[in-house]
Amino acid sequence: MALDLAAVRAYVQVPAPVLSDADLQRMLDTATADQAARCTVPETVPAPLEQAILRRVQREIAARNLPLGMVGLDASEYGPARIPYYDALVDEHERAYRTQVIG
């Protein structure tokens, strides 16, 4: 993967005192593994797949301090809401590279 820790940190704009390099690297590794499990990743990684990785890491950072991925625990009109597992932007970036499984 062409993305390194510095590129990811520059994209998400979360400083090191807030999110350690070890935590960010773990999130990057996990996002990369998730993408590899779902997509056929060419030797030279295209820009859409890199953007999907950045989006996956960004979502992981956003959800890291939320209990069970819940938002709006005290301010939501209808009670807490859950961060959806589906991200349309990740799907859009990865669609052309998805590994089709027929079972």
| pLDDT at residue number 79 | 60
d(CA 7, CA 54): 9
Sign of the CA dihedral with 85 first, then 62, 94, and 42 last: negative
| pLDDT at residue number 103 | 75
Residue linked to tokens 């998400």: 12
Query: What averages of pLDDT result for each successive group of 10 residues across the chain (103 residues)?
Result: 86 92 95 93 93 93 70 57 73 84 79
- Dihedral pair phi/psi, residue 71, rounded to 5°: -125, 155
| pLDDT at residue number 96 | 85
Query: Is the distance from CB of 35 to CB of 94 less than 8 angstroms?
Result: yes
| pLDDT at residue number 23 | 94
Strands (DSSP E) found in the chain: 70-71, 81-82
d(CA 87, CA 103): 24
Query: Is the distance from CB of 36 to CB of 94 less than 8 angstroms?
Result: no
The pTM (predicted TM-score) of the whole model is: 0.76
| pLDDT at residue number 50 | 96
